[in-house]
Structure 1
Amino acid sequence: MRKDVDKILEEKGAEAIFLYSESAKEANMYYLTRFLAPDPFIYLKKVGEEPTIVVSQMEYSRAKKESIIKDVRSQMEYNLYEIIKSAPDPKIGNLKFIANVAKKELGVGTKICVPSNFPTMIADALRKEGLTITPMFDIIEKARETKEPDEIREISAVQAAVDNALKKVIDLIANADVDAKGRLVTKIDGKKELLKVGMVKAILGHEFLDNGCAVEEEMIIACGTKGADPHYSGDPEDELMANQPIILDIFPKSILKRYYTDMTRTIVKGKASQEVKKMFETVLEARNASIDAIKAGVQGNAVYDICCNIIEKAGYATTRGGKQITKGFTHGLGHGVGLQVHEGPSLSEFYKFALEEHNVVTVEPGLYDPEIGGVRIE
């Protein structure tokens, strides 16, 4: 939660934090400010003090109205015009301007934390002004792991949209005909057409837009053996086939609120083979047991181990312990979801930290066989 930023900074030995980025695509900046801007701006905060943002004059009035930050300032308050005009190149002038703001507001000698992806040239400019900056992992990301009630509501709203959209697609597949080659066939405006991945993605895309959601990354629709690659997204021309597992992995976000969700279903039109049934039953048991184990105080890797125990007991391999496999459970169990579709915390072998109240995580065990395909439930 945002209120935890000071505590996290103190635990890292930092006295302040400094960010420079846009917020339209940078989740941390949007999280801190709730101000959506396509151009970069400054966010700075000392421990124990209220944060400040410095935006362009063009964005100043809007930032005052829309941002949750009380202290909103214009770049013009820091002589941007004079600094840029006197520089040999506007880009160099902008670096000088950013460094001047940091120096004036945070001061030389302050231990300043910057994100691990902080631009190198800006870091150099700050250091030339005598500022002490240290790139650190997971300052804002850690705060984002525990969700506010309104964040959980937004994620739930997107999840409801996914539920509705997937139900329509599953009904479409269930009601499809099967031709002599085992291909699924549906009717569009009274005309029979092969049911292909591209068509299903288009239907899902329209459903999401109707519910205020969008898919920014490629959703996964993989049929048959192609589903053995967990991240094979599906070619638009791929045909959906009867009697084969079809993985539907969908992760849209709210266009207005920007929160994601992540949901996977595996279905078969027709009759599933005995091996696919066994894979499905094993994955479902592992998922349910993992969900039952999740509570505050339990380590993420402990939940992963519970999942692996069930899968291995059923006779399937896992990558636990560093095993190199192409058949079995080949990935982590789950991840956090929020302003990014993949964020902390993690349900993996390497995540030795305790889960906390208000974490939101996916639980998505899967089994894969290059000769059969894949089964994943999330």
Structure 2
Amino acid sequence: MSDVLQVVLISLAVIALLGVVLEDVIHVNKAKVTLFLGTFSWFLLYVFHSDSESQSEVIARGFEENIAEIASLWLFLVAAMTFVAYLNKKGMIENVIHLFMPKRIKERSLLFLTAIFCFVFSSLADNITATLVSVTLILSLNLSTKKTVRFATLVVFAVNSGGVSLITGDVTTLMIFLDGKVHILDLLLLSLPAFSAVMVLALLLSRGLNDTVEINIRHNEVRPVDLMIAGAFLCTIISTIAANVLFGIPPVLMFLMGMATMFLIARFFNDDEEEEQSILEYIRVIEFETLLFFLGILLLVGMLKEIEVLDTIVRMYEIMPAYMANFLMGVLSSVIDNVPLTAALLKAGIVMTEAEWLGLTYAVGVGGSLLVIGSAAGIVAMSKVDGLTFGSYARYFIVLALVYTMGYAASVGLAQILLG
């Protein structure tokens, strides 16, 4: 591959990143920018690579692997988000939230309750869905723009923190687990430092939140079929973990089967004929704009991996201790998508103890919270909250870096004590 082509491809990735950061300035949707540049970069790679047949096969194989990874992630998210779209439309998630919410509550107390909800819910649902539900709740409160941004910042960090200790909560956690680097029970060790970091962030962000918020508590009617679908969702989550541990079944297969079960339940147990006919419509409720942005980003990073730009990252482990390199990988994941970054690390043959792998799991899972463009949760929040921009989120960078460092240090320390 020529140096000129490599420079052009890297430049396209940089332009795409600038397109995301400057979306409010150029007024071009970030999904359109990243999707075009992601597909165009692979087009250039196919056309202008060296003429050798072996090189053509390598690029074709790399593209197929990239698309397969994206397809698996997409299908998993579509299945999970369809479940939540249905339950959210029927008001069941709202019922659960309002079950624990008083009619009047101090903003400070609401901030802590929001942190707890985001942390727990994101362990069960994917980060995108957890963010959508949480942001919808925040926007319904009609807070000032400044306070809304503060709540949204907490949501992003809490959602990313909630998924690191369960394989159903974060893709990178699942990847590290499937590669045999950590055990599923040991992953639960991360829940304590992750939750502690979220609570510290809530405490730091609660300064000046002294007003009282009126919450319009509504109790939506719940039909038996809705309860059955909610039960199918919980069973899907539990069976996904069990099936993977016992038989190595990919999570995407279990969630697709769960979604199919949801459709069958709606067909045979629904007393509303119109609702039965429109059950597939809930797929259209999904945030496809976010998924398209995800597609563009993953295509770009897959291209960078193909031209071996990401391989230079792995060399950090040759010049510094693993715990320090893992910490920097977390910081790096706020700029580079953590999924291919984690894949590159797993394929590099790095030798670390389980305690160090647990530290990396926390780092790549939470480190993306440092910048709003560093995680799917941040992208979703930015697309929904008008006042949340790259700049407004960056104002909290020092605070976020502080709690991330505390959480990482606690994760590594606890793992070292308990695992040795």
TM-score by length of 1: 0.27
More strand per residue: 1
Structure index of larger Rg: 1
TM-score by length of 2: 0.25
